[in-house]
Amino acid sequence: MQRVLSRVLLRQTSRPVMDGGAETHSEGRRKLVVGLGNPGLDGTRHSVGMAVLAALAARLGLAERWRGDKHVSGEVIVSEHVQRVHVVLLRPRLLMNINGVSVAKAAGKYGVKPEDVLLVHDDLDKPLGKVAIKHGGSARGHNGVRSCIDCLQTDMMPRLRVGIGRPTGKTSVERYVLSRFSSEEQKVLSSVLAQSVDLLLSQLSLDSQPSPRPAEGRRAAQKGKEREPPDSAAAQS
């Protein structure tokens, strides 16, 4: 049902984006960095990707440049040069399960190839304090990533996976991810956000080099390689 809804929404809205009054951008190579999450649920574990993007914008001195863009169903910042790359930051304003609609529309508007879309999202399988770059592959049960794969029709997008850990006791996963970080976790979160921004900037610097051929994307993704930073001040929960 999620896949059908995403594709219906994308089909209904894609024509105005491409043919309407929206400005399109296709000069030079662009990167699209996306913070996955739920609108109105800032500060929750499931929306930590949006918190990372806010931290990235602040680090770049662009925090005041967020603007709503109805053509992509999200908020964007367009920056001319970050690590010698043209970068668009995106915070979808759709529910997590259909974030991919916003991502696909933004990729179309700004002329960004799927391999140049970098997704930032929460990861239950990593403890808080652990972050890693994953180069393509399956969604691993993450509905926001699955929506992006469905709408972009490829799984080759790199991701920054931000660990949030798993719930303990009888707390359900759904309740856990939609809850805010505990007071103890808040003490770690600032270091996690800083570490995540460092990794994003490092990835953008690497990505200023020529990207692999699209035909090689799935083969590379199937290897499931991840790049984690060395141990740092960010603690584990």
Regarding pTM above 0.85, the answer is no
**pLDDT value at residue 230:** 56
10 Å CB burial of residue 161 (0-12, 13-18, 19+) is buried
* Average pLDDT of the residues of the chain: 84
- Say what the alpha-carbon torsion angle 223, 166, 190, 225 is, to the nearest 10 degrees: 0
Answer yes or no: is 2 within a domain: no
Q: Which of 46, 71, 121, 142 is catalytic?
A: 46
71 in catalytic set: no
Q: Is residue 44 part of a domain?
A: yes
Cβ–Cβ under 8 Å, residues 150 and 205 = no
Query: Is residue 192 within 8 Å of residue 128, measured between CB atoms?
Result: yes
Inform me whether the pLDDT recorded for 236 exceeds 50.
Answer: no
Domain count, the chain: 1
Q: At 177, which CATH number?
A: 3.40.50.1470
68 within domain boundaries = yes
235 assigned to some structural domain: no
Find the mean pLDDT for residues 111-121. 96
Residue 216 in domain: no
Q: Is residue 191 part of a domain?
A: yes
Does any domain span residue 234?
no
Domain enclosing residue 84, as ranges: 30-206
Strand-pairing partners, residue 145, are: none
> Stretch 86-96: mean pLDDT, rounded?
96
In a domain, 36, yes or no: yes
